């Protein structure tokens, strides 16, 4: 049975990973992160037992795999496990180039599980790459607006089935789809609590873990305590720090 770090890693690479086929034939697998998340790259390296963490710029670092044997290990990890159509297509191209370069005949395997579940860490990894915890105060309505968002450049409506709640929105500016669970503070749908339960069970590994805990703290304050004018002002300040 595939372990949860593997599933977290697959979700994370679907959000942040790149299968690179250079014009001269060189192949590489890369995950790029800002300096705040360099520890995650070293954690991936330690778990896999191969790859290199290199400095791309003063604030950007990359986990890189380039040799034939270790690239094959990456292929074996993700083959049949990818969820997103775009990642599947990029992986197919990469796999074809790998077969040609190293005279192999590795078959592309269709996903054994077409959508992720809340009983595994794939969504946690994907959220570390493409998720957002948000709380804003709407002055005209004098209320806090709480959301959990996952975004991607393809239709990700399957998240509605996975969570049993939420909606799909299209952002014309960024040309991406977003799965949104909104109004968590006032919505009576008990399924909204599923977000909190999931990330307590499968913790995030990047700096978004801090965002999640601050988001959760503010939400609990809004739901379980009396919000005085003084507390409202303090919570409004905290909201600005969630994704900082």
pLDDT for 222: 86
Q: Where are the beta strands (DSSP E) in 27-67?
A: 27-34, 52-57, 60-65
Phi, psi of 79, deg, nearest 5 = -60, 125
Predicted confidence pLDDT, tens digits, the chain (244 residues) = 468 899 999 999 999 999 999 988 899 999 999 999 999 999 999 999 999 999 999 999 999 999 999 999 999 999 999 999 999 999 999 999 999 999 999 999 999 888 999 999 999 999 999 999 999 988 888 888 889 999 999 999 999 999 988 899 998 888 899 999 987 655 555 556 789 999 999 999 999 999 999 999 998 888 878 888 999 999 999 999 998 7
Same CATH topology for 4-102 and 129-239? Answer: yes
- The answer to whether the CB of 158 falls within 8 A of the CB of 115 is yes
Domain ranges in the chain are 4-102, 129-239
Give residue 193's pLDDT: 79
CATH 3.40.50.720 fits 4-102, yes or no: no
Question: In the CATH scheme, what is the homologous superfamily, with its name and number, of domain 129-239?
Answer: Homing endonucleases (3.10.28.10)
What pLDDT score was predicted for residue 1?
A: 44
- The predicted pLDDT at position 184 comes to 65
Q: Angle, to 10 degrees, between the axis of helix 68-78 and the axis of helix 4-16?
A: 100
Handedness of CA 161, 164, 169, 175 (dihedral sign): negative
Say what the pLDDT of residue 185 is: 55
For strand 27-34 and strand 176-182, is the pairing parallel, antiparallel, or unpaired? Answer: unpaired
Q: Is residue 210 within 8 Å of 223, Cβ to Cβ?
A: no
Cβ distance 99 to 105 under 8 Å?
Answer: yes
This prediction has a pTM of 0.93
Q: Which helix (H) or strand (E) holds 46?
A: helix 38-48
Closest by CA to 186, choosing from 131, 144, 242, is 144
């Amino acid at each position: 049975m595939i372990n949860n770090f593997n599933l977290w890693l697959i979700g994370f690479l679907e959000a942040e990973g790149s299968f690179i086929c250079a014009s001269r034939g060189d192949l590489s697998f890369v995950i790029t992160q800002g300096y705040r998340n360099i520890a995650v790259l070293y954690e991936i390296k330690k778990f896999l037992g191969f790859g290199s963490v290199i400095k791309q710029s003063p604030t950007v670092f990359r986990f890189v795999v380039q040799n034939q044997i270790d690239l094959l290990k990456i292929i074996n990890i993700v083959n049949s496990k990818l969820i997103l159509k775009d990642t599947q297509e990029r992986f197919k191209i990469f796999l074809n180039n790998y077969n040609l370069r190293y005279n192999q005949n590795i078959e592309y395997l269709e996903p054994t599980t077409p959508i992720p579940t809340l009983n595994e860490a794939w969504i946690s990894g994907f959220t570390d790459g493409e998720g957002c915890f948000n709380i804003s105060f709407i002055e005209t309505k004098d209320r806090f607006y709480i959301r959990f968002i996952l975004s991607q450049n393809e239709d990700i409506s399957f998240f509605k089935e996975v969570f049993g709640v939420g909606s799909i929105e299209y952002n014309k500016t960024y040309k991406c789809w977003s799965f949104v669970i909104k109004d968590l503070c006032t919505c009576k749908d008990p399924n909204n609590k599923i977000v909190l339960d999931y990330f307590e069970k499968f913790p995030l590994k990047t700096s978004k873990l801090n965002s999640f805990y601050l988001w959760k703290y503010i939400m609990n304050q809004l739901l379980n305590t009396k919000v005085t004018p003084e507390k409202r002002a303090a919570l409004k300040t905290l909201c600005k720090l969630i994704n900082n």
